Amino acid sequence: MHNTMSRTTGRKSRRPSQQESVPILSAAYLKNAKSKKDIISRLSAITNALESDPELDPSDAPGLASLSTLLVQPDSFLHHKDSDVRLHTLLACMELFYVYAPEPPWDEEEILNIFRVMVRMLGNLGHTLESSGSGVDGGGTSGNSAETSCGENSNNYEHYFRILELLSEVKIGVVLVELVRSTPTDLDPSAEDELRQEALEILCDLIRTIITCVHVDHPPEVAAHAEVAVAACIEEFDGSVPVQVLDEILVFVGAGPIQWVTNPAAVRAAAAVALAKKKRQPPPFPQSEMPPAQIQQTNPQYLVAAKIIRRTEDKISSPIAALLNGLLGGDTDVVTSISVVDLTETTTTDARGKTVSTPSAAAVTSTGQVAHTGADVWSITYELHRIAPQILTTVIGTVASSLVYPEVGPRWRATKLLGRLFAARSSSIAVKFRICFSQWLRRSADTEQKIRETMVKGLVSFLTNKSHETDLCQDVNESLATILTKDPSLDVRLLAIRQVCELAHNATNDAISDTAATTPSATTSNTTTPPSRTYTPDISVFSAELLLAVANRVSSKNKTERRDAITGLAQIFHKHYIRKILRHVQDGGDDCDIEVILRVLHEHCSEEQTKNYKFVVEAEEKFGWIPQKVFECVYFSDATDPELRNRIYQIVDDVLLDGGLTATSRAVGLAIILHGLKKKGKENAFKWMCALFSQRSQLQRALGLYLDARVKAKGCEAGSAEAFTADAEAMEKLEVVASLSSPLVGISSSNSDSTADMSSVLKRFHTAKDKHIFRILSTIASPTHSPSARKRAFDELPKRTKGMGAVSVAWTKALARRCSMGAFVNFESIEHCIILAQESFEANDCKVSSLFLTCVKTMIASFPALAATKESFKNLVEFLEVVRTDVTPEAKKELEEYGIVTLISDILAKSASSMPGKGNGDDEETISIYETLRSQLLRLCKNDGTPEQARNSVHALSSLVNPVSQHLSLPSRVKKEKKEFEPLLKALVAPSRLAVPDDSMASKQKSKIVSVLSAIAAVAECAPYAFNSTGEGKTPLCWGERAIDFSLNAVLLGKNTSSNLSNEEYSSDSGSESEKESPAKGRRSSTARGNKAAVASSKENDKVNISVHCRMICASIEVLICHIRATIVRAKADGAKSELEAPSTEHVAKVFKTLIDI
C-alpha cells in the first residue's frame, strides 16, 4: 500500500523549524488549544508539519500515535460541531494516511468515520471556485443553492481541492477497497459482512462525490485528480468490480455529454420583470426578448466518468458487459442490487417547448449538479459505444434479442437503441453485427406504429451518418421505400416523407458540412456551449427507388401527404439536378460562352451523347422525372385540393428555376425541363403545364378587364345610374377573377374569420379606398412585368389590405401569387431563349436552336406578349431574315430538318397580336424592322414557304396591320386590311400558283399548291373584307371567289374549270416569280434535266402523289370552311356597319354536301 500511496513532488513550502516538529506532532500540543480559532490554528500547524516532511517515520515522532488517536476519538475533533475544525482535522488525518502507509493507525470503524467526513467535505468542492472563492453563480447554475451550500466554507476552495489532490496522489481510497475485499479474522461472519457492506456503501458515496464535485468552471486539474482517484480504487480490485461501484460510474455516463441547466440570465430577467410589475412599471424588455429558461452546457461529470472507464477498460469492461446483459435480460439479482433499474425514459419539455427524452439517472438540479436517482440502461449502452465500444461486443446480441419481445415497451426501446448505435458516426457496429442489423431492419414492418416511427428516424439517421456504407445504405433505402409505399399509418408516411426529403435536400457532395449545429446560445461568459458539427450525406446515398417511393405519395388521397411529397421532390430537383447542371452556365453569367451552353444541352438533351455520360444517365433516372410529377399535380383542381394548387404555383415560380439563377441559366434550364416533358410517356405532364399557364393567362386578362372596368366606374358621376351600372359590371368582372383565383378554402390564415365568404371578401376588396392596391395589381396583370414588380406586389399588398381582415389579405396574396410571372418563365427568360437560339444557329447547331425556339413557342401559346417586347421582336425579325437569306445549302437542309423557319413564323404569328404595330411616331430602325418582317412574311406566303409557314405568315401580317393595341374604326381597319391583303391574294390566285399540279412535276413543285391554299385559307380567316372584295380584270369574280371556285370545283369536284384569265392580269403582282414558277415552264425544265420523275421508282412517285393530293384536298376544304366561318362571324361582330355579305345558302349547302360526299 505504501508504494501505491507515494507522494508527488508538488508539496507546499510551509515548513516549521526542526525544534518545533516534535511538540507539534503530539496530542498534548492539540489539547492545549484554548478556543476554536486556536484549534484550527494548531490543526493547520500539524497538517503543515506532516506535509512538509515527506520522509517522516512514525518511530521518530513518539507523540504521533497519540495524536492520531485523539483526532478520531468520539466527540473529539473529527466530530466537532464546527465545520472548519472538522475540515482541518480531516486534512491532518489524510496526511497521517500517507505517513502510516500501508497500515493506517486506526481501526476499521475509525477509518470509516474518516471517510464519512471526507465525503461530506469533498462535496463542497462542487460549489466553490478557485478564482473568487465564492459560490458558483454561472456556467449554467442558478447560484442560490451554491451559496447556501458554501456558506462559511466559501473561502475553503484550496482545502477542498487539497482533499481531492491527496485522494489522487496518495490514492487513499484504496483503503476502503481493502476493507471491501477482506476483513479481520477476529470478527464473526455476520459482522464481517456488515463491515464489508458498510465499507462498500462509503466507497460508492466517495466515488459519486468525487465525480459530482467536478464543476464546469473548475480548472482542468480538478477533473484530472477526480479521474485518477476513482481509477485507483477500481484498479485495486483483483477480481470482479462490485456492481454497486459500476453503478456509480455508469449513472453519469447515462446522463450524456450535454445537459440542460437553468439559465442565470433568465432568472435575473424574471426577477427584473417581477420587480417592475410590483412597482407598476412597464417591463424592462418585451416578452419576445426574454432569455431562454434553459441553456446547454457540457456535462463535466460525464467526461470524468468516460475517462475513468477508458483508463480502467481492461479491469472494468467485462463487469460492465455482464451488468448490462443482466439488466437487459431481466436478471433479478442484478436489478435489485443497483440503481440502474429504470429501463424506461422520462419525457420532459425543454425551454424551447420541445419534448425530449431524459435519462432518469441524470436529473440536473438548479445548481448544475446531477441528482443520483437511478439510470436508463438504454442511454448508458449508447454512450458506452462512444467511450469504449469493445464493452458492447457481447451486449449487442442481447439487445437484438429484445426486438422480438412480445411486449411493446422493450421492443420499442431495443429498436431505438440499436438505431442509435447503428447510425452512430464513430462506430462500426452495423458492419460487425450484420445479422443484428438485418433483424433491426425488419422492425420497419412492426405492428406497432410507435416502433415504425422510431424506425423511420433511425433509418434516416443511418443515411445521414453512414453514407460510406454503400451496401447497408441500399438496404436502408429499401426499408424506407417499403414504409413509404406500404405503411398503413398516415403519420408514419408523413414522417418518412418529411425526413427523407429534408435530408436529401440538405445532402451535399461533402461528407461534413461547415455549418455548425444550431444550439441555444449562452448568455453568460462562464457557460460552456460544446462545439458541434452537422453531418450531411452525399446525395448518391439516396436511391432512385426511394425518391420514386416519395413520388408515389403524390397520388395519395391525403392532401397533406400529396403537398409534402411534391414540395420535397421539387426542392431536391432544384438543388441536386438543375443547379448542378447549370453551375457552369451560372458561373458564366448572362454573357456565358455559347460553347458552354451547347455542351450542357448536348449532355442532357441529346440521347446519343447522354448515353456516353454515366453520371448524366444516373442523374436523369434519379431526378429528371420530378418536373413531370410537379405538373401532373395540376390535375388536382381548386375544387379538389386548392392548397396543393397554390403550392404548385409556388413550386413552379420559385423552386424549379429560382430567381437566384441568371436569366441565361433560367433559359437553359427551361429548355432542359421542357425537353424532358416532351419525351414519350410524359405528354400528359406537358399538357397539364400548358393548362396551368393558360389559367394564369386567363387570370391576367380577367384582372386587367376588372381594373379597367373599375376605373371606368370611378370615372362616372357618383350616384348616377351610369355609375351603378358600371360598378355592377366591374363586380361581375371581379367575380370572374375570383373564379380563376384561389378559393377561400385553399387559403390558410391563423386569424381567418370562419364566417367570411367570398362575396364579402370581394365586396371589401372592391370598395377599398387605397388606390395603390389596384395600381400594384395593374403592374402584374401583364405577363411582361419585371421581377421587381412581382416582389413589390408581394411586399406591399399584404400591408395595404391589412385593414380588410385576415381573409382578404390572404386572398389578395393568393391572387398576386397566381397572377404574377415567376422565375420559371417571364419576359427575361423568353428574351434570352431567343438570343440563345440565334447564337446556337450562328454556332451551326440548329438542334439546340430549335430547343430554345420550342420553349418560346410553348410559352407564348399562353403569353403571346412575352415574345412581343421590343427586344424580342427585333431579334426574331433579324433571326428570320438571316435564316431566309444568308444560309448555305447544307445549313438550309438542317433548317428544314429542325423546322427553324416554321418555329419562327409560328412565334411571330402568335405574338404579333401583342406587338404595338407600326405607327407614325416610330423611328427609322423600327420602320426598317417592320418592313423587313413584312417582306420575309410575304415571301413565305408566295414563294417557298411550307403550308404551316405560309399560314403563320398571314396571321402575323394580319396582326401587324391591325394590332390589338390599336383601336381603329371599322372603315380604317377595312381600308388597311384591303391595302395589305388584296395584292397578296391577287398573287396567290394567279394561274401560275393556283393550279392542280401535274404528276410529272417534281415533288417540291407539287407541294407548293398546298402552301398556296393554306395561305389563302389564312387570308380568308384573317382578312374577310379583302377576301370578298371585288376583283379586277375581265371577269366579275373577286380574288376570294376565284380561290373558292378552284377549291370547290377544281379540287374537290374534279371539274375542268377555266377561269378565262390571262397571265397579264397578274403580271404586276407576280413579276419574275410567275415566270420562274409557272407550271408549263416548270414541267419543261424538269423534262429537260433528264426526266428525273421518270427515273424515280413508281412506288415512290405514288407515295408523293397521294400525299400531295390528299394535302391539297384538305387545304381546299380549309379554304372553304374558313371563308364561310370568318365571313359570318366578322359580319355579325361588326354589325350593321359591316359591308360583308354572308355566303348564300346555296353555296353553303353545296360545300357541305360535297364534304358529306367526301
Per residue in 863-883, pLDDT tens? 999 998 889 989 999 999 999
Comparing 664 with 618, the larger pLDDT belongs to 664
Grid cell listed for 533 = 458539427
Residue among 539, 528, 617 nearest 575 (CA): 539
| Banded model confidence at residue 22, pLDDT cuts 50, 70, 90 | very low
**Is the predicted pLDDT of residue 14 greater than 90, yes or no?**
no
What cell was used for 162? Answer: 487539497
pLDDT at 1121: 92
| Bridge partners of residue 1054, in order along the sequence | none
| pLDDT of 911 | 87
- Check whether the bond before 74 is cis (ω within 30° of 0): no
* Percent residues over pLDDT 90 in the chain: 41
Spatial separation of the C-alpha atoms in residues 670 and 679, rounded to whole Å: 15
The pLDDT, as a whole number, for residue 1045 is 87
Q: How far does the chain reach from its first CA to its final CA, in angstroms?
A: 120
Q: 88-124, pLDDT tens digit by residue?
A: 999 989 888 888 888 888 888 899 999 999 999 999 9
pLDDT of amino acid 1096: 41
pLDDT band at 583 (very low <50, low <70, confident <90, very high): very high
**Confidence bin at 1146 (pLDDT 50/70/90):** confident
| Alpha-carbon 895 to chain mean position | 42
Helix (H) or strand (E) holding 123: none
Rounded Cα distance between 363 and 372, Å, is 7
The three cell numbers of residue 867 are 415574345
Write down the mean pLDDT value for the chain. 81
Pick from 127-136, 747-756, 1059-1068: least confident? 1059-1068
Average pLDDT on 518-527 reads 35
For 746-788, write each residue's pLDDT tens digit: 565 444 454 468 889 999 999 999 999 999 999 999 999 999 9
Q: Spell 115-141 as b/e; 16+ CB within 10 A means b.
A: bbbbbebbbbbbbbbeeeebbbbbbbb
Banded model confidence at residue 944, pLDDT cuts 50, 70, 90: confident
> Taking Cα atoms as reference points, which of 200, 222, 196 lies closest to residue 211?
222
Secondary structure string (H, E, C) spanning 763-779: HHHHCCCCHHHHHHHHH
Mean pLDDT of 451-472: 94
Q: What is the mean pLDDT of residues 449-460?
A: 96
User: Distance (Å, rounded) from C-alpha 325 to C-alpha 323?
Assistant: 6
Report whether pLDDT(369) > 90: no
User: Can you tell me whether residue 535 is helix, strand or coil?
Assistant: strand
Question: DSSP class of residue 353?
Answer: S
Banded pLDDT at 203 (limits 50, 70, 90):
very high
Say if residue 1033's pLDDT is above 70: no
Least confident of 178-182, 207-211, 581-585: 178-182
How far apart CA 1106 and CA 1116 sit, in angstroms, is 15
pLDDT band at 679 (very low <50, low <70, confident <90, very high): confident
Task: Please give the distance of CA 1069 from its chain centroid, rounded to a whole number.
Answer: 64
Coil vs helix vs strand at 1023: coil
Of the candidates 498, 536, 540, which has an alpha carbon nearest to the alpha carbon of residue 517? 536
DSSP code per residue over 371-386:
E----BHHHHHHHHHH
Q: Is the pLDDT of residue 936 over 90?
A: no
Could you tell me if 1000 and 1086 are in contact, meaning their C-beta atoms sit under 8 angstroms apart? yes
- Mark out the alpha helices in 296-346 (DSSP H runs): 300-311, 313-329, 332-337
d(CA 59, CA 436): 65
Contact between residue 688 and residue 636 where contact means Cβ atoms under 8 Å apart:
no
**Predicted local confidence at residue 489, as pLDDT:** 95
Helix (H, G, I), strand (E, B) or coil at 271: helix
More confident residue, 610 or 1002: 1002
Measuring CA to CA, which residue among 929, 924, 927 is closest to residue 873? Answer: 929
pLDDT tens string 596-614: 999 999 888 877 655 666 7
pLDDT value at position 625? 93
CB neighbours of 458 closer than 8 A, spacing ≥ 6?
415, 416, 418, 419, 420, 422, 423, 440
Residue 483: its pLDDT value, please? 96
* pLDDT, average across residues 135-154: 38
Residue with cell 460541531: 81
Q: Which whole number is the average pLDDT over 1121-1147?
A: 84
- pLDDT above 60 (res 1095): no
Q: How confident is the model at residue 23 (pLDDT cuts 50, 70, 90)?
A: low
